[in-house]
Amino acid sequence: EADIYQTPRYLVIGTGKKITLECSQTMGHDKMYWYQQDPGMELHLIHYSYGVNSTEKGDLSSESTVSRIRTEHFPLTLESARPSHTSQYLCASSPGARGYTFGSGTRLTVV
């Protein structure tokens, strides 16, 4: 039933590894967002995109990068993971007028 998909759901990885968190949506939404969230806590916007080849940094400084080569795909990459990157990462998309649809998130643990 989900129209926005995040993979993997859980990831445990060693310090210094490069990782990519995948986010895809089938709704044709132009706007997509990445949030970082500790469980049950505030949502912190780290990246957003208003369309293909458009990406911006959010309110929370992040060492991650994103790309938007296709409308439906908005991956997030960490070049060198650190324990401070341990968190939940939520992807969302929006048509602009009616709020966001969120994915189920990726729970990242860096050991």
Partner 1 sequence: QQQVKQSPQSLIVQKGGISIINCAYENTAFDYFPWYQQFPGKGPALLIAIRPDVSEKKEGRFTISFNKSAKQFSLHIMDSQPGDSATYFCAATHSGSARQLTFGSGTQLTVLP
Alpha-carbon distances, residue 29 vs 15, 22, 33, 98 (angstroms): 34, 16, 11, 11
**Least Cβ distance, residue 70 to partner 1 (angstroms):** 20
Contact assessment for residue 76 and residue 65, using Cβ atoms and an 8 Å cutoff: yes
Give the residue, chosen from 7, 13, 22, 31, that forms a contact with partner 1 under the rule CB under 8 A. Answer: 31
Give the residue, chosen from 40, 61, 84, 111, that forms a contact with partner 1 under the rule CB under 8 A. Answer: 40
Contact assessment for residue 18 and residue 1, using Cβ atoms and an 8 Å cutoff: no
**Least Cβ distance, residue 103 to partner 1 (angstroms):** 5
The residue ranges that bind partner 1 (CB under 8 A) are 31, 33, 39-43, 45, 48, 50, 90-92, 94, 96-105, 107
